[in-house]
Structures are given as C-alpha cells and as structure tokens.
Amino acid sequence: MPAIAFGRFDDSFSFASIKAYIAEFISTLLFVFAGVGSAIAFNKLTSDAALDAPGLVAIAVCHGFALFVAVSVGANISGGHVNPAVTFGLAVGGQITILTGLFYWIAQLLGSIVACYLLTVVTGGLAVPTHSVDAGVGAVGGVVMEIIITFGLVYTVYATAVDPKKGSLGTIAPMAIGFVVGANILAAGPFSGGSMNPARSFGPAVVSGDFSCIWIYWVGPLVGGGLAGLIYPNVFMAHEHAPLSSDF
C-alpha cells in the first residue's frame, strides 16, 4: 500500500529538484498564458461577454492543446504536473514527498501569476477573466463539479503516466491528459468554470484582485485529486508501488 512521505530537505533542495521546480514554473506559465489568453481573446473578439458554444469549444481546445504541450515539455524533468491538484493526488498516493510537493505548488502558483501579469501587459491592459460558478449551480454544486472532473483528470494521470503497468501507453499520457481536460471544460465550463487546477484559477484571481470564488477552486480540485490519489494506487497499484523518486 503506497505510503505518504514527508521527505528530506536535502532531497528537496537537490540540483535535480531545483530543475524540477523551474520546469513546473515554466510549464504552468505556458499553460496559463495560453488558457487564460484564449478567454481574453474570446472576450475581445465578441461583443457579448456571455460564453457561447463556439467560444466554449475554442477555449476547451486551447486548454487541451496547451496542457498537452505543458505536460510534454516538463515530463522528463519534473513529471509535468502543471497543477497543484495533480501534485496533491500524487503525494496522497506516495509518488512524491509532501515537502517537494509544496515547492511544486509554489512554482506552479508563481508561474500562473507571472503568466497573467504578462497577459495584461501584452494585451494592453485587458481584463483577466476569473473562474466563477453559474448562479443556478451555486457554490456547493460548483465544488462537487470540480471534485468530479478533477478526479477524472488525476485518475487519468495515474493510469497513463504513473502506473508501472502502463507500458507503451505512457507515450500518449500528455495527449490523454490534455484530452480529458478539454472534455471536462466542455462539460463543466458553463457550470463551475471547469478549472480542475488551483493554479489556473489563482493567477487570474491575484491579477484581477477578485478572490470571491477562489476557495471553490482549491477545495474541489484538491478533494478530487486526493480521492484519485487514494483510490488508484490502493486498488490498481497495490502490489506494484514504485519507490519515491527525486525525479518528482
């Protein structure tokens, strides 16, 4: 049964770990810049601020493509988490130490904040849209929606990128992860915003100064990611636990 490990400071500050933190910063920056940028572009190109069907598809596709690239470029250095919920789910499943995971969080959040500030500069000061829950759904419904879709995301990460039995399936892990995010945005975007990623929501909240709904995008994704981290390793990897690695 995978065990949660706190980790050692010398390991978390090793040269390989520092490179991993930089990789997470860059990957998250690239992902958030493209994802939030697609939402800004939609708002600029349409006079109606309400998200319509073509806009939802465009934003979902952009997020899926961007995450595919972000995971791919970071996979061999940091594991390509690009998401505090993914990092948390892997820590719960014993695939990364808590200490190293905290530094991943810092790198991911900083990458998102920098990406959003860069967007305000290069777009001439256009507003950075934040995630929010549809009035008909409510906060509780938004949290439940984020739990479900983040569970699907982290479950996919385990199945395609972490499980030792993955074999050649590991080569398409970034694509599968990008696809499930795009699909989840199509399904949940009009209701909870389809975040699945506290960093993706946190950067726009910091730059805009609007933290009114931010707790939803921490609680939902972390619970969903944590559940996936409990279920997949203990049910499907119970006898094939890979040792903790400084590669994470």
Residues of the chain with pLDDT under 70: 1, 47-50, 239-248
Residue 248: per-residue pLDDT: 40
Indicate the CATH number for domain 9-236: 1.20.1080.10
What's residue 240's pLDDT?
53
Q: What does the pLDDT read at residue 36?
A: 97
pLDDT at 49: 62
Q: Whole-angstrom Cα distance, residue 22 to residue 168? A: 28
Are the CB atoms for 173 and 160 separated by under 8 Å? yes
The 3-class secondary structure across the chain, one letter per residue, is: CCCCCCCCHHHHCCHHHHHHHHHHHHHHHHHHHHHHHHHHHHHHHCCCCCCCHHHHHHHHHHHHHHHHHHHHHHHCCCCCCCCHHHHHHHHHCCCCCHHHHHHHHHHHHHHHHHHHHHHHHHCCCCCCCCCCCCCCCHHHHHHHHHHHHHHHHHHHHHHHHHCHHHHHHHHHHHHHHHHHHHHHHHHHCCCCCCCCCHHHHHHHHHHHCCCCCCCHHHHHHHHHHHHHHHHHHHHHCCCCCCCCCCCC
